[in-house]
Amino acid sequence: MSLTPIDTALEQLVPLLPLITEQESVLLEQATGRVLAGDCVSPIDVPPHRNSAMDGYALKSTDLGSENIQLKITQRIAAGEVGQQLKSGEAARIFTGAPVPEGADAVVMQENCKVNGDVLSVQQQHVQSGGNLRQAGDDIQAGALMLAKGHRLKPQDIGLLASIGLESVSVTRRLRVSLLTTGDELVQPGTKLEAGQIYNSNYFTLHALLKGLQVEVARLWHSCG
């Protein structure tokens, strides 16, 4: 009698397995390896606001229509801060990731600027509207599908979900599996080997593999004879 090929056995067994429909909510720190119970859609834009792509100076591009224009530096905006509306003839010292103030439509990198006190001179010949700006939603737009139902979560997925503000996620209940090992010669590690006995190593290998797949191992069954 020949053994059943593994692919054939799977084709026969998989349709007989019950479909898991139970769901639970888990914190992101506990979600690696779990399977999404539903689609994950972003509730926000990422980034959530216009921001500077580099360290430099935010300004109105139309203020630079002629040579030797000098602008007054009126504020300093670091990442996490919100500046005041920029008026014509003004510039704002700005750092990478900081929100670009209203009234500004471009950022000039600091290497292309000359500063004397609170007076800014731009050394760059052409400054286009939108230059060195990242618009709201450039990376992710609100309503975009991030991960689909049935996706097994990987470490990089956890970071993605955190970036859209999720603290927890809905996943399907873990599979519950009982392990069965057989053999008169098998004993558990930690006990003394008698003549003809060996340790039950296969159980621990299978247990570790199942745990790595986020499977709940219900119990160990061992049959002798």
Q: Work out the pLDDT band at 214, boundaries 50, 70, 90.
A: confident
pLDDT in tens, 44-100: 999 999 999 999 999 999 998 776 789 999 999 999 999 999 999 999 999 999 999
- pLDDT for position 225: 56
Residue type, 110: Q
Number of Cα atoms under 13 Å in the Cβ half of residue 135: 7
- pLDDT for position 218: 80
Q: Work out the pLDDT band at 134, boundaries 50, 70, 90.
A: very high
Q: What is the mean pLDDT of residues 131-150?
A: 96
- Chain centroid to CA 190: how far? 42
pLDDT in tens, 145-204: 999 999 999 999 999 999 999 999 999 999 888 888 888 898 888 989 989 999 989 889
Q: Is 188 exposed, middle or buried (0-12, 13-18, 19+ CB in 10 A)?
A: exposed
Q: Which domains are delineated in the chain?
A: 6-43+143-223 (3.90.105.10), 51-134 (2.170.190.11)
Contact 85, 60 (CB under 8 A): no
* Lowest-confidence segment of 87-101, 127-141, 205-219 by average pLDDT: 205-219
The reported pTM is 0.76
Instruction: Tell which residue, 110, 106, 80, 105, has the closest CA to residue 93.
Output: 110
